[in-house]
Structure 1
């Protein structure tokens, strides 16, 4: 895992790949738990028998399940050190390029797209490419925007 220790080091990563996470297997249990949590119980996700006859030949993970893995997989790749609050600001774009079939393994390849100074810290734009083991196309490409807000200490709040 790459630890970025300060503003200058973070700024210096613009345009660089930070690294790649470990592979994580997407089990039917994980898909079912996500379906239960979100209420999205479409048959292509939760019905193995019907999905065997469907367009993918098996169940597939929800696109949003794949997207929801970004914090977990990203934490294997990089960390921002120091006294900063890390705030999700949003997504510039997300594309679900290829389906993640049940029992596939995925990993996250992270690139820094841009780093900008803001009034109270930095804004970091990251491109996450969720790769599927043995598949040429990625499952998901997502550009996230994170704000790194420097913590205010009690003596600073007067």
Structure 2
């Protein structure tokens, strides 16, 4: 894994559907009209409903699972989120858009025997857009 520091992996595309957005609204209680009311959202500069920023961020595990060349730690028993150094929401994700994840391994270190910490840059790209939906620097830990 240390040899992979500095390398990037890119996921397959996934569609962000209105159903996903509605389910996220239900789970979080965030029913702002720009997410769940297509008629009202059409009158905004977004031109339609958009995914919650935190929904976009929460796609990290799904996109990581759809990244065939991502580095994997052999013998991993479990992985946990440790937190983020930064998160920036740059471009709204319209319902029906396709997104993919770009993962760049920034650091990998053994914290104690059998416990490793990795820091990655996570970018969500929107198909057909020049500017990404978000960029985050995320820390996770793996246990072997």
- Same fold per TM (> 0.5)? yes
The equivalent residue for 2:14 is 24
- Give 1:115 deviation, angstroms: 1.1
Structure 2 unpaired stretches of 5+: none
The equivalent residue for 2:65 is 75
Distance 1:140 1:80 in 2: 26
Structure 1 unpaired stretches of 5+: 1-9, 151-158
The alignment covers a number of residue pairs equal to 140
- Give 1:80 deviation, angstroms: 2.8
* SS in structure 2 of the partner of residue 36 of structure 1: helix
- Give 1:114 deviation, angstroms: 0.8
State the TM-score, normalized to the length of structure 2.
0.92
1:86 aligns with 2:76: no
Distance 2:38 2:44 in 1: 10
> Cα RMSD between the aligned structures?
1.1
- Give 1:85 deviation, angstroms: 2.5
Rg bigger for which structure? 1
Contact 2:76–2:142 (CA<8 Å) still a contact in 1?
no
Give runs of ≥4 in structure 1 deviating > 2 Å: 78-81
State the TM-score, normalized to the length of structure 1.
0.84
Distance 1:88 1:101 in 2: 27
- Give 1:86 deviation, angstroms: 1.2
* SS in structure 2 of the partner of residue 30 of structure 1: helix
Contact 2:118–2:139 (CA<8 Å) still a contact in 1?
yes
- Give 1:117 deviation, angstroms: 2.0
- Give 1:83 deviation, angstroms: 3.9
- Aligned in 2, Cα 1:50/1:87: closer, same or farther, shift over 3 Å? same
